[in-house]
Each structure stands twice: as structure tokens, then as C-alpha cells.
Structure 1
Amino acid sequence: MRINWGTGIVIAFVCFIGFIMYLVVNMMTDDKFQHELVVEDYYKQELSLQDDIDKEINSQTLEENVSWEHTNDGILIQFPTSIEPSEISGTVYFYRPSKKSLDFEVPLVLNNHAILIPNDRLVDGRWNLTVDWKNGDASYLYKKSIVY
């Protein structure tokens, strides 16, 4: 039996579609490819975007902004020394883009203008660090993408 060019094209299309279907099924069922949403309440967070922008603008007006440093014990987050630590309240969020189960948040309890996030809470890789804090009536937001 001879295969003409029309039959060859049909066979090529069937093989290509079969290959693509194999890849799709393999990626959807394999546990090493985790498909998670970026955030659960995406639209709710989108509504508060202007508040976040205002907080970031407030942060830029500070003489000294929040900073972070990688130490042997973990990540040390420093707050402005011009503000009394007892007047600072808020939350530190660690968001892991690759795995939702690693996300966590820590309430701000400052020790000498700093807070230490220990090594046991962090895994090597990329993190999105967000510090949402208040000093009196003023709200501030610090966002940084870090590699631990």
C-alpha cells in the first residue's frame, strides 16, 4: 500500500494532536506541576489597590524607609529609627509565587526597630515581601521581591 501526500498530512496531524494531548494530560495529572491561583480573592484585592498606592506614596515620603537584610538567623526587617517602635503596628506578609502552602504572615512585634523572620519559616527561592504598617493615623506599605 502506498501512502499519498493527503494521507501523510492526515497522519502528521493525528500524530501532532496526539502529542499535544499527551503533554496536556501529563502536565495536568503530574503532582510536580502545581497549578494554583495567584490569590484566592483576586477581585477583592483589586478594589483595595488605590489604598495600597496611597500607602506606598506615604512610604516614599519618609526620610528612612523599611529595609531588609539577610542574616545567618533569617531575614531582619528594619524600621525607621525616627519612629518609636511602640507606635508601629501592622503585618509582614511573605508570599511564595511558586507554592501557595508556603505563604505566611507575621504580626509586627518590634524589638529595637527590627523584626526577625527565622530561617525555619523560609525556603530558598523567590519571595514577595510586603510590610503593611501604621504609625498613628498614617499607613505605609513596603513591597519588595527578594531571593532567599
Structure 2
Amino acid sequence: MKINWGTGIVLAFIGFISFIMYFIITLNVNDKYNHDLVTEDYYAEELSYQNDIDKLNNAKNLDKNISYERTDKGLLIVFPKNIDFSKISGNVFLYRPSNKQLDFDTTISLSKPYLLIPDKRLVGGRWNIKVDWQYNNELYLYKEIINY
């Protein structure tokens, strides 16, 4: 049987459409490809973004900003040594882009100049850290993307 050019074009279209349909169905059905928005209330957070910019600028004006270090016990978030750590308050939010069930929020309550996030709470891979903290009525924000 001889295939003419019209039949070849139709077969090419059918093959292309089949490939696209397979791709779309795979992305919609397979949980491995299930990625959610960064936050559920995206527009409300967008309105408060200028506050975050101000907090980031306050943090940049510090002599030394927050740092982090991975230890065998977990993730160590170290606050600046030149400030009184007992007056620090705020939240630490860890966001996992690939799985929102792993996201968690921790209140900052320090007895030492660092905060330890236990290793059992963190799964290997990419994490976004957001430390929203306050010291002497001044607001600060630290954001970092890490691979744990």
C-alpha cells in the first residue's frame, strides 16, 4: 500500500494531537506533577508586600543579618550576636515548593542566640525560609532559598 502526502499529513496531525493529549492527561492525573500556588490567599499577600520590602531593608541595615547552618541535629538559624536574643520575637516559616503538606510555621522563642529546626521536620530538597522577626519594636525579615 502506498501512502500519499495527504494521508501522511493526517497521520502526522493525529500523532501530534495524541502526544499532546497524553502529556496533558499525565500532568493532570499523576500526583508527582501536582504543584500548588505559593499561597492560597495570593492577592491579599500581594497588597502587604511593601511591608515585606521595608522589613528586608531594615534587615540589610543591620551590622550582621541572620545566618543559617546545617548540622547533624537539624537546621540552625543564628541571630545576630550584637543584639539581646531574649527580646527577639516573631515567626519562622518554612515553605516546601513541591509539597505544601510539608510546610510549617514556628514561633520564635529563644533561650540561646539561635533557633534549631529539628532534622526530623525537614525532608531533603529545596526549602524557602522566611524569618519574620521583631527586636525593640523594629520589624525585620530574612528570606533564603536552601537545599537541605
Q: TM-score normalised by the shorter chain: which range applies?
A: over 0.9
Q: Are 2:94 and 2:105, in contact at CA under 8 Å, matched by a contact in 1?
A: yes
Partner-residue secondary structure (3-state), 1:17: helix
Equivalence for 2:134: 134
Report the Cα offset of residue 3 of structure 1.
2.7
Equivalence for 2:43: 43
The amino acid that maps onto 1:88 is I
Q: Does 1:71 align with 2:71?
A: yes
Equivalence for 2:114: 114
Match runs of 1:47-126 below 5 Å? 47-126=47-126
Q: Are 2:35 and 2:97, in contact at CA under 8 Å, matched by a contact in 1?
A: no
Q: Does 1:8 align with 2:2?
A: no
The amino acid that maps onto 2:22 is Y
Measured in 1, the distance between the counterparts of 2:31 and 2:78 equals 38
Report the Cα offset of residue 102 of structure 1.
0.7
Q: Are 2:86 and 2:111, in contact at CA under 8 Å, matched by a contact in 1?
A: no
* Structure 1 consecutive aligned stretches of length 4 or more whose deviation exceeds 4 Å: none
| Alignment gaps of 5+ in structure 2 | none
Partner-residue secondary structure (3-state), 2:86: helix
The amino acid that maps onto 1:135 is Y
Partner-residue secondary structure (3-state), 2:21: helix
Report the Cα offset of residue 18 of structure 1.
1.2
TM-score by length of 1: 0.95
Deviations 1:102-136 (A, max 9, x none): 11010001121111000010000111111000012
Measured in 2, the distance between the counterparts of 1:131 and 1:31 equals 30
Identical-residue share of aligned pairs (%): 53
Partner-residue secondary structure (3-state), 1:32: helix
CA-atom RMSD in angstroms: 1.2
Equivalence for 1:18: 18
| Alignment gaps of 5+ in structure 1 | none
Deviations 1:4-35 (A, max 9, x none): 21121011101110121012112211122213
The amino acid that maps onto 1:77 is I
